[in-house]
Amino acid sequence: MPLAKTFSFIKDKFPESVYDVTESSGEQIFHIRSEVVRDVLEIFKEKGFNFLADITAIDNLTLGGFERYAVVYHLLSHDSLERVTVKAYVAEDKPSIPSVEKLWKTADWQEREIYDLFGITFDGHPNMVRIMNPDDFTGHPLRKDYPRLGNKERDDYPVIKPAFKRK
């Protein structure tokens, strides 16, 4: 099915939840509400976008946008070699979004990475824990209001004195 048909189909199905559809470098970008992201991506998958190339996130603190955070999904169709981008906007006060781990297994670790770095929780994810930072780490480093030098995590270790002192 050609891309355009899928687009109008989704716009008709979720009239409330599609903020906007824009185009960049010949690629369609869907701006949607986070609540419907699973349903929208499920439709895209049914219509032939079988491959989830990447998930990433954006902190719009200084950029401006529909909401503070955007979770970005890059989809690819292996049949028609078309690509589409879905941006799901997540509110600042309760940053959570449905997980798509059930649709694409690859979303598992990528969603954990976004949780680790942006603090956006993915509802329905089987194992929503940090993937790279230490388990006892607090804070989410890729948020724009996180200080570059951190909150003293790097200074917070016991100082080991030599067991024997050389005079």
Partner 1 sequence: MDQDYIKSNVLTTTLESAINWGRKHSLWPMPFGTACCGIEFMAVLASRTDLARFGAEAIRFSPRQSDLLIVAGRISIKMMPVLIRIYEQMPEPKWVISMGACASSGGVFDTYSVIQGIDRFIPVDVYVPGCPPRPEGVVDGLMKLQKKVGKEKLSDYTTSNTS
Q: Cβ of residue 142: shortest distance to partner 1, in angstroms?
A: 11
| 11 token code pair | 């716009």
Q: Find the distance separating the first CA and the last CA of the chain, reported in whole Å.
A: 79
Q: Which C-beta is closer to partner 1: that of 24 or that of 164?
A: 164
Q: Cβ of residue 92: shortest distance to partner 1, in angstroms?
A: 22
CA 31 vs. chain centroid, Å, equals 13
Q: Which C-beta is closer to partner 1: that of 50 or that of 133?
A: 133
Q: Cβ of residue 154: shortest distance to partner 1, in angstroms?
A: 5
Using left for φ > 0, alpha for ψ between -120 and 50, and beta otherwise, residue 3 falls in alpha
Q: Cβ of residue 124: shortest distance to partner 1, in angstroms?
A: 28
**Hey, how many other C-beta atoms are within 10 angstroms of the C-beta on 92?**
11
Question: What is 31-90 written as a DSSP string?
Answer: EEEGGGHHHHHHHHHHTT--EEEEEEEEE-TTT--SSSEEEEEEEE-TTT--EEEEEEEE
Q: Which C-beta is closer to partner 1: that of 124 or that of 150?
A: 150
Residues lying near partner 1 in the complex (CB under 8 A): 132-134, 137, 141, 146-151, 153-155, 157-167
Q: Which C-beta is closer to partner 1: that of 94 or that of 167?
A: 167
